[in-house]
Structures are given as C-alpha cells and as structure tokens.
Structure 1
C-alpha cells in the first residue's frame, strides 16, 4: 500500500521538474480519437504506454487488419523467455529476410525500447503503422520497407513503475533502463552478451536495412529542443562518406519536417558541466558498444534519437512520429544516393582506425536554444544547486567541445589469426556477421603478437564483466598455422568492426571486455628444489641469460629478494608457460 508521500508523488509526478514552455504543434492533428486501431497512447490522450501483453496484442491486431502487407517475426527471446518481436511492413507482403534484402526499395529499421523506460518510439511507430493500415498513408510502402521493433528490452519493459525515471515527463508508468540481468543493451553492441542485441545483429545481417534508427530519451540539462538526434560527424567518423551522405540527404529532410510540424529539432550534444550550462556542450563520439558507433563501423547509416526528457510524453511521441516520417521521405527520395555512399565507404581502403578519443581543448561555437537558469543554495542538500526557469534563453556563441583528440589509433592488419579454442570470441564474430575462414593448408607466417607487460582489472563489474586495461608490447613471431586456427581478413565489409573487436589496444575489444581472462592466470609452477639446480645449469650453459642475470643483480632490492630471483630465473627457462600474458590473436601486416 502506498504511503501518503508516495501517493502524493504518484498524483503529481512532475511537480519537482522545471516549468514548461507551453507547446502546441501541428503534429497534434496526427492523434486520433476513435476507430478500431486507436492506440493505447491515444486513448489515454498521450500520457500512457501499453505493457508488454497489450503491446503484443496491438501488434497482432495491426497485422490482422493489414495482413496482406504486415508480417510479425519473432527475432529472439529474452532471458526470461519473452518473445522479442518485429513487424515487417512491405507493399508486396514480404515474409522473409531474403525477400526484403533483395528488394529494390530501401528498408528502414526502427528500434524502440532498448532502454525501455525511454519508450517514445513504440507509440510513435504504432501510430505510423496504424496510418498505413487504415489507408491514410498509402505512399509509405510504395517507397520503402519498414522493420519495426516496438520493444527490444522486453524484460526491462516489464519492470515497470511510475518511479523509474525521476527526470522524465511520462509516460505515467514506464519500464526500466536495463534488462532482467541488469545489463544495458546499449553498451552491448560489441560483446553481445544480451539476447536483444544479438537479435539486432542478426536482423541487420539478414535484412540488410539501409537506415537504422534507435529511439531514446535523453537525461541531463533543460533546453528548448524537444527532439535531438544525430550520428558521429564526418570530421570524427571512421566512415566519413556515410556521415556526409547523412548530412546531405537525410538530416535536412528530417529537420525540415520537424520544424513544419511545430517541433524544435536540435543537435545530439550533451552538457560539459551540468551545474553551469554556459561552460558549453560535449560533442560525444560514440564507440562501437553503442548502436550508432556500431553502425558507423558497419558502414550502416544509423541515427541515435534522444528526445528531451523534460518535454511532455505526448509532445515527444508526436515528434518521434514526425522524425520517422521524415526519415521515410529521405529514403524515398535519396535511397539510391545513400546506398551509393555506403558502397563507396565499404570499398575505401582503410589503413588505420582511431579507437579512443578525448575532448578537444579548443571549442567550436554554435547558436543554441537554451533555457534560462539560476543557482540557489538548497536547504536540503546544503549545496549550490541549479534551477531552470522555464524561459527561453538564446546562446549566440556557445562552445562545443567535440571529441577530436585522438588518444589511441591502431594500424589495421591485413588479417587476424585466432586459435579455435577461443570459441566464445569466434561466436561473437559470427553473430556480428564478420566473415571467418577456416585454415585448411598449413603455412608458416611472420606475424605480430602482443604481450601484456602490465594490466589493471576494474575494481567493480561493468555491464556484468570485469574489464581489463592492458599495457602492451609487440613482437614479430614465426608461427605455423594449421587447422587449429581461423583467419579474419580485414578486407571485408566489416573489416573496421573486426579490427576494433580483435585489436588488443581497442577499448571495446574482446580482450578488454574479458573474453581472454584466462591469459592472466598461470597454472603450472616450479618447486624450489628443482629450480635451484636447473638454474645453476642454465646459467653455466647460456651466457646471454647469465649476462642478463648479473645485470639484474646490480639492483640491490632484486638481489636481496629470493622470490624475485626465483621468479626471474623460472621465466628464462623453457618450462615457463609461454602463453602466459601473450595475447593469442595474431596479426598479419
């Protein structure tokens, strides 16, 4: 039973949030008030979103009403056994991925509910599909195919509450950010630990969409924009041709459509200092653990939508509808132009890859539609706090610090070679769609191997894994490769993604995510009674080792530490584990 305090909160969920600037937009005309396909969102006048059971029921109702052109596909199952479903909409009534991939019309993949408290895309997508089903929008399927996932994180969606997101206006009851195992799906695009993102990888591989839209709701500061969206800009993108095509053919149409319908579209940026907005914006560049960073390395045009959490749910959903409609128009007009840019990006010869970035010390400047704010001392926290005032404030030259600084860049090898026993890593590569070749004819090649000179494990798990940060040195080795090895050639469409997954210096590599933790343990040891006589023999017959040992002994601390001396001598012997701290994935340059 709710306490009186919680009951009061439940009745006024946004009383603690900043005041709103009143909004009325032409997109309000998109909402219907009656009819057999009225959505739960519309029935509630724009404040509610249906639960999983009702969502699946409405999805089935849509398919039944428009069965000739709508087809429901189960693309996976959650950890708790719930179906993850996708609606395929096509003029021809396609039922298979092969049909969609072979069609000349472009395909748009719309994904909602990866963070299931941020569920705007589900209700917007259903309204759009309803308008197709009832004949109001026959133009859409004449021009594009649609793939619509209303809830990707279905288990998190059912961890529903009125109190899941304190800084978000609606819906009145919403799902949770992470899945049933408390994993964030939008940190999983490289490691593929969650059924939801594994399902997405499979959908992208077999349906081959031309544009991928991932709908979120942002946190953070207050500003006038209700719909913000973006992708890694061309000046920091690993695949700039795709970003340039998005700038030219897609974003202008989306932007214009939103403005026409009374929305305020804005750039995908965040705040450098949440206590002092005027210090500027953070131009974040997504890595491949995120949907848009993953799409970038796949040459897949990917838009990350971040609706503004402080705007009312109705306004955000209607803005999402308009954004999706604009993306459809862009694909209808420029699908071939976008596909040409993607093909050119794939054919480009890439020699290196930036794998880590930092914020620039010198900013760019943009005009920005902000909200006025003030500081005050809170009696509750005893600290200086920020208070947004619900009044427009225009910044003429607000600094933006993009992540232009290159912190780590790697040379792209011609190929990687992986021992077969690392089955989990090979499984991830396969699900990602990376082409892997079995070695059939034995061959000896000069390859490069990384050795870990020092490392640090995270002090707490992140996304269910203890990440590791290694320091590495590289050496050339001659290795005989046989049927116990597989080859990953980087001269393939997913060569950039494969490089980030397999190069040990990449922060989203499988090594740093913990797929090779067995390298950090030794399982064979030496007894002192065997080591002392063996070491004596080794030093008397190997002058190079003897010379190194005598040099080491000049270090007084080493000379006085028997354990350190034993450890060093054991490392020089052929009995020492030669795989210990040696990264097993080899590189060919």
Structure 2
C-alpha cells in the first residue's frame, strides 16, 4: 500500500500545475512521498539541473562551511546578472530568499527548489521581468545532513528525519547577526548583504509548535532604533496583499506571527506576543539597515507536504508583489536611508534614540484571529485545565504585542572614535558594512564619555556567551584628544542606526552585550573602580 501512495504522489508531482518534470528536477520529498527531506547533494542535484542551459541563471558560492561545503547562491535575472556591480547598474531591486538557516526546518529548502525549477524551466519566468532574485536554498549546509528522528517533535516525524538546528561550529545562525562568529554569517555579510544590498530579505522557518489556526505566520523586520518607513510598508502593504492573494489562489490561511498562553490568560486568549526585537536576528537587523525583511514560519503541526505548500505559496506571492512594486520598495528604502543620514547631520547631539526596548501592543488589535479551540475542564485536584480541540475558531479583537517602545535612550552622536588598540572593533563593524576611517593626524573632539561602574554577566551561557550589561552614566567631555591612527566613524552614513545600536554601551544587543569589551573592563579592574568606556561618542571632531 505504501508503494502505491508513493507512486501516486510522485505522479502528482510530475504533473503539478500542468508541467511534466524530469526526475532530476524533482525534490527528494516529492520522490519519497514527502517522508524524507533532501540532503545537500540532492539539493545541489536539483539546483544544477534547474540552471543547466538557462540563459537567466548564475550559480555562485557565498562561501564554505566548516566541512568545506559551498553555500550555493543562485542569481536569477533577465537579462542575466553575474555580479553585484551588474545588479546595481540594472537599477532593479535585489530580492534575497533563504532556506535552511535551521536544518530541522526544511520546507524553505524544498520550496525554493520547486520555485527555482518553475522560474528557470517552467511558467514563472515572468518573475524575472523587473527584479533580480537571489535564492539560497541550503544555508546551513553541514548540519542539514546530520539526519536523525525525533529532533522536532512538534513536526510529528514529518519528515521522519531532519538535521540539526546549530551549524557545525555549534552556533545558532539566527542568533549570530551581531557577533557574526559563524563562517556562514561572515560569508553572508561579506559576499551577499554588503555587496548585493538586497531590497528585501526573506528568511524561511517553521514554528516550534503554538496551535494557532494558520498554515503559516509572518513578521516584518522590527525597526526599534531604525527608520519606521520600511516596517510600515511591509506591514501595511506587502503582507496584507500577499496574505489575501494566497488565500484567494491557494485557499491557505496566513496570519501574523505570535505566541499565546492559554494557561496564563485563560480561554479565549486575549493577546498574542511576537519574538523579541534584537538585531541578532537577521530579519530584524534589516530594519536597522533601512531595508525590508520578512520572517516566514510554517505551521509545525501540519505535514511536510502542507508546510511546503504554504511556504511555496507565500514566497511565490511575495515575488509576484516585488516584481510589480520593486521600484516603489527601493524608493521607500532609499528615503529611509536618507532620513537616517540627515537626522545625524541635523540633530546629532540634540536628540535621543532608544537602545533598550520593551514589547508593547500594536495600535490596532487583530479583528479576527484564527486558533484551535480549547475546552475547559477540571482535573482531580479541582484545578482548571485547557485541552485543545480539533476545531479552528476566530477570536475577535486580539491584542497584538508586536511593537517595541524604548525603556532606555541615548544621545545620537555625529560619530564615534575607536582607539587603535581596539582594531578588532573597527574590523567587526566593517564586516557588517560600516564605513570606518582612520585619523590622518592628531585630533580633538567634543562629546560624551560613558563611565562604567559595574560589569555584570549572565550566569547561564547563551550561544557560548555570558551576556554582559554595564551600569554607569554619560558625562560631557570637551577637547578630548585622539592620536593619529585612531579609528573614527562618521555616523552620517547608510548604516547609522545599526552602528549606533552596536556601539552604544547600554544597548540591549550591542557589542558590549556580546562580550566584545569584557577583557578591557576586566583588565582595567572594573570590580574595584569605575572604568571609562573606550569608545568615545563625539558631537564635533576637529
């Protein structure tokens, strides 16, 4: 009987959407009745078959993993584009779509292979009319092939075996956006994000198990200290349009990302809560880069073929939208970038921006929120309990905690001075795309200095780090002297908001947080006396 089912599903895949595909263009799930996910070798087999003889495709490598696997980047454009310089000269938006950042969350990897063959060999070549597509179906290459059953129990063994969440160095690649310790993260910044400068970044995931009533949930890039316009455009225009189109075309329900807590709130729940705002998450970092980004989270409890269907439909409709509206999106991003630069030029030393944030409700509730219903019962101890039912219901006016307000602010400077002894800080900022210059002669500056009175580190390691915070305060400083060879950053540049977030000592996800300054503070005996933060915040540099 199993053989009959597999044969039926294979035959269905051959003729899906009226197109008969040769075997080499079928994904491994399609070949196995959606019981198994693709290995690295199988993904590359489909990629190479799809790009073969295509006038629109260029295959390049983002870089190598620890085990020496090339991380494939398929560049698709009409006419063909092979470099960031050609992409920029074309005037077209670059749309980056990534799968498999977590190797147990496989549907992005599989869906991108299907879209790849349809764009290059099928009926979706029109998606290359007005944009340049960068597909990275298998970002976490090494851990993908460490297949084991039971790694993601909420997926109920669909597929039976999946890869590991961290990369082969042990890092969660979706917590690495600030510290950038993973080989994959370094390659992503050096060879994709900085040179190609995507207009939109799309990251494909699977949820960890909340029982909402959507086949896929989404979130935009949370901007926090960044410009609000790219977030507004994504939230108000892209996501509603794509959601409506997927429902109309595919009958699949999409909705806003969020967790709810029926045991805490009772049933029906009153609120949902998104994940945090930190730019360690790549999607969120794009908000500080004045660009748009979308997080995609397939519903873990559906079967693999359903999760592939929802992810496929979501990405397809995003690309339909960007193909039509890419120029408008670029204009929104470019204005946000100009606004960030002008704010520094006009208001440096005069205004404050947030560096620590709390989650708060969006202005408007969700009018209709889909979720699996819960039944109220009482256990043998007389305690109320909630049991999930099979019915999906619509809850009215659910509060959506998907906004962030600052709890701590800091003055926006014109720039920062980094002592030459801390070249590693300058180099790290450059890795992420910041423009860092070197003083050609001795200089003086007016601004603020932060004096730290306490360094506190978390007791439990997170991503190999005991996260740090420092207490202290700013004070004015005049005629501060700096030496020839020290580094300085003029904040009037495109990445102003990201640099600000990374260098401010009180930031909740900056370089202090990730232990970049621990050695300095400890060598200067912060446990015995106040220590001056070594990065000077200047309002005027002469």
1:61 partnered with 2:74: no
Deviation at 1:76, TM superposition (A): 1.5
2:272 matched residue in structure 1: 281
2:242 matched residue in structure 1: 254
1:328 partnered with 2:310: no
Q: Deviations along 1:6-42, whole A, 9 cap, x unmatched?
A: xxxxxxxxxxxxxxxxxxxxxx955967524122222
Aligned residue among 34, 39, 42 for 1:51: 39
**Contact 1:355 / 1:409 at 8 angstroms: preserved in 2?**
yes
Q: 2:125 and 2:404 mapped to 1: Cα distance?
A: 44
Q: 1:254 and 1:361 mapped to 2: Cα distance?
A: 23
Aligned residue among 334, 341, 344 for 2:332: 341
**Contact 1:47 / 1:314 at 8 angstroms: preserved in 2?**
no
Q: 2:361 and 2:97 mapped to 1: Cα distance?
A: 36
Distance 1:345 1:285, change over 3 A: farther
Bigger Cα displacement from structure 2, 132-141 vs 289-298: 132-141
Distance 1:343 1:173, change over 3 A: same
1:200 matched residue in structure 2: 188
Distance 1:457 1:428, change over 3 A: same
- Larger-gyration structure (1/2): 1
Q: Deviations along 1:187-241, whole A, 9 cap, x unmatched?
A: 111111111122222201111221110111112421210111121468x673211
* Partner secondary structure for residue 434 of structure 1: coil
Q: 1:157 and 1:385 mapped to 2: Cα distance?
A: 39
**Contact 1:438 / 1:486 at 8 angstroms: preserved in 2?**
yes
Q: Deviations along 1:31-63, whole A, 9 cap, x unmatched?
A: 967524122222223343211122122222222
1:87 partnered with 2:74: yes
Q: 2:353 and 2:297 mapped to 1: Cα distance?
A: 27
**Contact 2:441 / 2:485 at 8 angstroms: preserved in 1?**
no
* Partner secondary structure for residue 302 of structure 1: strand
* Partner secondary structure for residue 532 of structure 2: coil
- The correspondence of residues 15-30 of structure 1 with structure 2, limited to 5 A, is 29-30=16-17
1:494 matched residue in structure 2: 495
Q: 1:60 and 1:483 mapped to 2: Cα distance?
A: 52
Q: Deviations along 1:536-563, whole A, 9 cap, x unmatched?
A: xxxxxxxxxxxxxxxxxxxxxxxxxxxx
**Contact 2:92 / 2:327 at 8 angstroms: preserved in 1?**
no
Bigger Cα displacement from structure 2, 204-213 vs 265-274: 265-274
Q: 1:482 and 1:309 mapped to 2: Cα distance?
A: 56
1:242 matched residue in structure 2: 230
Bigger Cα displacement from structure 2, 246-255 vs 204-213: 246-255
Q: 1:65 and 1:224 mapped to 2: Cα distance?
A: 43
1:518 matched residue in structure 2: 519
Q: Deviations along 1:126-157, whole A, 9 cap, x unmatched?
A: 10111122232221122321101111122222
Q: Deviations along 1:227-282, whole A, 9 cap, x unmatched?
A: 11121468x67321112222454223311221021110101222245664614211
* Runs (5+) with no aligned partner, structure 2: 1-14, 344-350
* Partner secondary structure for residue 66 of structure 2: coil
Q: 1:394 and 1:210 mapped to 2: Cα distance?
A: 35
Q: 1:215 and 1:361 mapped to 2: Cα distance?
A: 25
1:230 matched residue in structure 2: 219
Q: 1:274 and 1:327 mapped to 2: Cα distance?
A: 35
Bigger Cα displacement from structure 2, 287-296 vs 479-488: 479-488
1:171 matched residue in structure 2: 159
- The correspondence of residues 138-537 of structure 1 with structure 2, limited to 5 A, is 138-169=125-156, 170-202=158-190, 203-232=192-221, 238-260=226-248, 261-272=250-261, 276=266, 278-348=269-339, 349-350=342-343, 351-360=351-360, 365-366=365-366, 367-374=368-375, 386-477=386-477, 478-522=479-523
Deviation at 1:307, TM superposition (A): 1.2
Q: 1:174 and 1:511 mapped to 2: Cα distance?
A: 35
Distance 1:91 1:364, change over 3 A: closer
1:577 matched residue in structure 2: none
**Contact 1:32 / 1:38 at 8 angstroms: preserved in 2?**
no
1:561 matched residue in structure 2: none
User: How many pairs align?
Assistant: 508
1:106 matched residue in structure 2: 93
**Contact 1:272 / 1:279 at 8 angstroms: preserved in 2?**
no
Q: Deviations along 1:164-191, whole A, 9 cap, x unmatched?
A: 1111242222112111232111111111
Q: 2:438 and 2:293 mapped to 1: Cα distance?
A: 32
TM-score, structure 1 length as denominator?
Answer: 0.80
Q: 1:499 and 1:254 mapped to 2: Cα distance?
A: 33
Deviation at 1:387, TM superposition (A): 3.3
Distance 1:421 1:80, change over 3 A: farther
TM-score, structure 2 length as denominator?
Answer: 0.87
Distance 1:182 1:100, change over 3 A: same
1:542 matched residue in structure 2: none
Distance 1:256 1:270, change over 3 A: same
* Partner secondary structure for residue 331 of structure 1: helix
Deviation at 1:459, TM superposition (A): 0.8
Q: 1:117 and 1:392 mapped to 2: Cα distance?
A: 27
* Partner secondary structure for residue 365 of structure 2: strand
